[in-house]
Structure 1
Amino acid sequence: MLTTRHGVRPLGVADLDAFLALTSRSPVVNVFADHRARTTNLEPRWLGGEMWGRFEGGDLVAACHVGANLVPVEASADDARAFAERALTRSRSVSTIVGPHEAVEVFWNTVASSWGRPRELRWRQPHLQIDGAPSVEAHPDVRRTTRADFELLYPACVAMYTEEVGVSPETGGGAELYRARVQQLISRGWSFARFEGEELVFKAEVACASPYAAQIQGVFVPRERRGEGLAVSGMAAVVDLVRREIAPTVSLYVNEWNTPARRAYERVGFRESARFSTVMF
C-alpha cells in the first residue's frame, strides 16, 4: 500500500522484476541502475541507500537511486519533481546527482535552494555508445590488469580521478577505500591497461555492467603521452574485449568541453545516444 506523497515509496526485493522491466526501456542509459539492482536485489543493506519508485495505478513508472549517487531512472519532469520533493524531507546525503539531462535539471531546480551551492555543474555531457566493431584497429597490447600491475596502475587511477573530479580520491583519509575499489575492479576483470615496460600509457575500467551494456569510466593517458593516439587504439581494444566477454554494448559519458576525448571516441565508433548532466557537491 502506498502511503507516501506523489505515489513514491522505497523499493524492495519484491519490486525487483518490475524495476528490471523499467530499466529495460532504455537498457544502455540505465545500465548503472540495472547493475545496482541485479547485484543487490534491491536490498537496502546492500544498496547502501534506497531505490525509490513512483507508481501510477499500481504500475512502477519511474525510479531514483539514492546513495552516494542520486540517479533518476526513466523519470519524466513530473517524476523528477516528485522525487525531489521527497528528497527535500531529509538533509542532503548524496555527493553527486547524475543522469539524463531533463530529469537532473528538474530535480536540481527543485532542491537547489535547500541543498546548497554545488562544487560543479556539468550540464550537457554527451552519452555515447557502440554496439559493433570499432572503426579503428585495436592495440594488441591492451589487456586486463592483474594484482601484479597494481603499483603501476594505482597512481594512474588517482591522477585520472583528481583530474576529472577536481579533488583527490585520497582526500580525507579515502586512500584505503579507493585502493580497495581499484583492487575490486582488477578482481572482477573490469580493469584494462597498456604498459610499455614499467610505464602505463593507457587505462580504462568498466564501472558497471548488465546483460545489455557495460559503462566505461576512468579513461586515462598520462599528460606527457597525449596526442599520440593511445586513447583511440586503447579504447578500440577495450570495446573489443568488453563486447566479447562482458556485454554487447559499450557506453560512457564525457564532458562536453573535452574535445580531444570526444574526437577520440568518435574515431573509435562511439555515437551520441543521450545527454547526461552531473551536479557535484
Structure 2
Amino acid sequence: MASLPAESRWSIKSLSDDDAGSALAFLRRDPLINVYLISRLLEERFASATQMVEVRYHRDVILVASLATNIVLAADPAAAPETTDAAASVIAERILTRMLSVRAIISPAHLVDSLWKRLHSRLDAPTVVRMNQPIYAIRGRLDFPDLKEVRYSTVRDLDVLVPACGAMHSEEVGIDPLERDASGYRERIRELVDKKRSLIRTHGGRIVAKCEYSAVTPEAVQLMGVWTDPQYRRRGFGRDLLREVCGHLARKGKSVTLFVNDFNRPAIALYESLGFKRIGVNRALIW
C-alpha cells in the first residue's frame, strides 16, 4: 500500500458517545445519501456498538465509516478528491489490520473505487460486483394513499415471508441466503418484523409484493428488498405497494430512498414513473 501523504496530519478513531453529535452533524450534510449511517448512530445505545470510525485531516472530519462486516462509507461532499482518496487509505489500513472479515462494501461509487484499489491485492475477489446502483429518493407524496391493502408483517407471516425474502435475495444478488444460513436469515427477518420494518401486500392468501426498511431516521426511510412475486408481475401490485408505503411515510414527514441495480430496467421505470428522482449512485462488492 502506498504511504499516506503527510501522515502526521491524519487521524482515525473509533466513535465514542462524545463523538456521536459531531459525526451526526457531518452525516446530515447529506441526509438522504447517508441515511444508513445516521440510522446506525441513532439506534445504538452506545456509539461504540456501531463499529464506526471517523477520519480527520488536522481537526476536520473527512470521512465517517461503519467497519462492521458490511462496510459503508460517507465522505465530506465538499472535500477535494485527493483528500477523500487519502482518507480512504487510512480506512484501508484499519481494515487490513483488524481481525474481522469483510462481507460487503456498499457505498457511493467513487468511495468504493478509492477503497478497493487499496484492498484488492490483499483480499479475495468479491463474489458479486454491482458496478452501478442508482440511488433514488421521493419526498412529500401526500397525494399517494396511506396503508390500505399493504400492511406491516407479523410473526404469523414468517413462514411465507422468509421464503419470499430469500427469493428476492437470490434474484438480486445471486446468492441463496437460506442455503448459506437458514436459521440466521430467518432470525434477521424476524428482527425486521419485530421492529415494524417489513411490509407486505397479500392476494389470495399469499405474499405478492413486499419491502423492508433498512434504515430509519427522522428525515428519511431507506427501502430494501422491494419485490413482486414473478407470477404476479405486471399486475400493479408492486406499484400499489410503493404508492401506499411512500404515502404512509410522507404522512410521517419522511422522504423515501432506495437503490437499485442499473440493469433492472423494469424496476427503474417503475420508480421513475412514481416520481422517484436519482440523487446518486452506489457500488457494491459482496463476498
Q: TM-score, normalised by structure 1?
A: 0.90
Residue by residue over 1:132-157, the C-alpha shift from the partner in whole angstroms, topping out at 9 and shown as x without a partner, is: 21777778311112222222222111
The question of whether the paired residues in 1 share the 8 Å contact of 2:142 and 2:251 is answered with no
Alpha-carbon distance between aligned partners in 2 of 1:253 and 1:274, rounded to the nearest angstrom: 9
Aligned residues: 274
Alpha-carbon distance between aligned partners in 2 of 1:77 and 1:92, rounded to the nearest angstrom: 23
Shift of 1:85: 2.9
Alpha-carbon distance between aligned partners in 1 of 2:124 and 2:9, rounded to the nearest angstrom: 24
Q: Which residue of 2 aligns with 1:193?
A: 200
**SS across alignment from 1:114:** coil
**SS across alignment from 2:101:** coil
Shift of 1:243: 2.7
Tell me which amino acid in the other structure corresponds to 1:203. K
Q: Which residue of 1 aligns with 2:32?
A: 28
Change (3 A) 1:30 1:164: same
Q: Which residue of 2 aligns with 1:219?
A: 226
The question of whether the paired residues in 1 share the 8 Å contact of 2:147 and 2:245 is answered with no
Tell me which amino acid in the other structure corresponds to 1:83. I
Q: Which runs of 5+ in 2 are unaligned?
A: 1-6, 77-83
From 208, 229, 240, the equivalent of 1:233 is 240
Shift of 1:42: 4.9
Q: TM-score, normalised by structure 2?
A: 0.88
Comparing 68-77 with 5-14, greater Cα deviation is found at 5-14
Q: Which residue of 2 aligns with 1:14?
A: 18
Alpha-carbon distance between aligned partners in 2 of 1:190 and 1:10, rounded to the nearest angstrom: 28
Q: Which residue of 1 aligns with 2:259?
A: 253
Tell me which amino acid in the other structure corresponds to 1:191. S
Residue by residue over 1:43-90, the C-alpha shift from the partner in whole angstroms, topping out at 9 and shown as x without a partner, is: 43x33xx21211123232311110121011125233223212332334
The question of whether the paired residues in 2 share the 8 Å contact of 1:136 and 1:268 is answered with no
Shift of 1:91: 5.8
In angstroms, what is the RMSD of aligned CA positions?
A: 2.2
The question of whether the paired residues in 1 share the 8 Å contact of 2:9 and 2:58 is answered with no
Change (3 A) 1:232 1:204: same
Alpha-carbon distance between aligned partners in 2 of 1:146 and 1:113, rounded to the nearest angstrom: 45
The question of whether the paired residues in 2 share the 8 Å contact of 1:190 and 1:206 is answered with yes
Alpha-carbon distance between aligned partners in 1 of 2:98 and 2:9, rounded to the nearest angstrom: 14
Tell me which amino acid in the other structure corresponds to 2:256. V
The question of whether the paired residues in 1 share the 8 Å contact of 2:106 and 2:112 is answered with yes
